[in-house]
Chains A and B, each alone.
Chain A
């Protein structure tokens, strides 16, 4: 193995030996001096995960999260120096971790945090303005194809994932009740906001994303679906883009 290959192995695996040519400057073995690098790597990457997954950190507690992060970063060291992307494999890793088998929802909380972070860094897009909307004749609205800005994200969960996250970050929030929660993430300006979707919202949003007309999107959501609530939210959250003309 090359020097840097040995170095890398020894950094990530404390049981593996450090390269023998490392010295303290006076010809003696480097000893714990090597641990400075080992510590920097583990602490730096763990802190990056704590920054990216604050709700998971709160739910697991600091000690358990750090132990889990240590195992994760050895199995999945980051593939790029962009730390805002580090941890995209964390949800699946936590799903499969036997130590977390009593917290089967934790992977979805991590997925929600990934989606929020992606939304935060997404391109800005050009949201539809109230003037743009007013310029569309009412009789033409049904045939209009609005788009969605790039920061919109959707997360589907079999767990009350949004309620669990809220409670993790705010102990005063209500306790999560059993049940599935589907989440729509919108970014009005810079801070992503997660919203609970109700029945019909998902096909409506996905239809808009695919380029359907407003009437087609409403029809996809079911006969009794009233899109007014969601359309208002999308408009207020600067999530719609102007129709292509």
Chain B
């Protein structure tokens, strides 16, 4: 069965260890997200599980390795692998990051930052045009977590994302944890960021947990670790976001120190409750 859209309900980042429990009782979970790069083998268990899951659930394919913000051209082999996956799976959504991860043929396995300038805007827009053309589908672009800033940046991240979306027609994936992490780390206001974000472009929302450290001056430095529950100020910021977007597909990302299924399902239940509250507020 093909699912054309992600539902405006709770989803989770899929982990193979939860396969049997998800298939027997998904609880509050209505859709699943996978990392594209984990499903680029030729066969075996990963592909078989994904095939079975996609018959029951809408699936979002989330790329972590395309390096859309890279200085060089997109890796044509990797783009072809993504196309192959999207062609056979026909996912409800495809998304990637405003970040780079590959330089000079070396994949660095992290989402690395870029300055926001006219030149990087053109480059990112060209890469997104290419992705959307090759895949034959609209993609969502996700806002990053930032730990530092570039002196050469000429515009805000929200202006950059708005211009990218306007130039390419792509949608946006708003990671609310990333907003909180970046705002804290760079001394900005998360609420101002949300107020400036082009909400009409948002096709999906992410939530995840962060770790707390300090920088050289004792200032808080939050790390987007995806290794624990979503923090309270991020839930509060989510309510602010949902008041603007209305109910939207809402994902819990928990990629490290992955918990047992009841713990992850409970976190998804919290996300579902936030969506229900937002729906009630919108109707009132």
Contact = CB atoms under 8 A, between A and B. Distances in A.
Interface in B117-156: 147-152
A24 B37 contact: no
Given A21-B151, A24-B149, A81 B64 contact: yes
A213 B82 CA distance: 39
Interface residues of B, number: 53
Contacts of B151: 21-23, 27
Contact of A190 (B45, B64, B103, B150): B45
B42 A41 contact: no
A80 B148 CA distance: 26
A11 to B, nearest CB: 6
Interface stretch (A52-60, A100-108, A121-129, A221-229): A121-129
A4 B71 contact: yes
A3 interface: yes
A31 B110 contact: no
B107 interface: yes
Interface string A36-47: 110011001100
Contacts of B45: 120, 190-191
A3 B147 contact: no
Most B CB atoms within 10 A — which of A78, A81, A124, A191?
A81
Contacts of A12: 106, 108
Nearest to B46: A121
A8 B104 CA distance: 9
Given A4-B103, A77-B106, A33 B148 contact: yes
A71 interface: no
B119 to A, nearest CB: 11
Contacts of A24: 148-149, 186, 215-217, 219
A81 B101 contact: yes
Contacts of B109: 40-41, 44-45, 48, 78, 81, 83
A4 B100 contact: yes
A126 B133 CA distance: 34
A81 B48 contact: no
B105 A79 contact: yes
Contact of B44 (A45, A82, A122): A122
Contacts of B70: 4
A25 B149 contact: yes
Contact of A81 (B37, B42, B71): B37
Contact of B216 (A5, A21, A32): A32
B43 A37 contact: no
Interface stretch (B73-81, B160-168, B190-198, B262-270): B73-81
B107 A80 contact: yes
A190 B65 contact: no
B108 A150 contact: no
A7 interface: yes
A41 B102 CA distance: 12
A219 interface: no
B81 A82 contact: yes
Contact of B41 (A37, A81, A121): A121
B115 interface: yes
Contacts of A190: 44-45, 48
Interface string A115-139: 0000011111100000000000000
B282 to A, nearest CB: 35
Given A21-B151, A121-B41, A190-B44, A78 B106 contact: yes
A33 B215 contact: yes
B147 A81 contact: no
Interface string B77-114: 11001000000000000000000111111111110111
Interface string B170-213: 00000000000000011110000000000000000000000001
B20 interface: no
Nearest to B45: A190
Contacts of A32: 215-216, 221
Contacts of A199: none
Contacts of A25: 148-149, 185-188
A154 interface: no
Given A4-B112, A37-B110, 13 more contacts: A5-B71, A21-B150, A22-B148, A25-B187, A30-B148, A33-B148, A34-B147, A82-B41, A82-B81, A84-B41, A122-B43, A187-B44, A190-B45
23 contacts: A4-B100, A4-B114, A5-B104, A7-B112, A8-B103, A11-B112, A21-B115, A22-B150, A24-B149, A24-B216, A31-B216, A33-B148, A36-B147, A44-B109, A45-B109, A81-B37, A81-B65, A81-B67, A83-B37, A120-B45, A121-B44, A122-B43, A190-B44
Interface of B: 37-38, 40-48, 64-67, 70-71, 75, 77-78, 81, 100-110, 112-115, 147-152, 185-188, 213, 215-217, 219, 221, 223
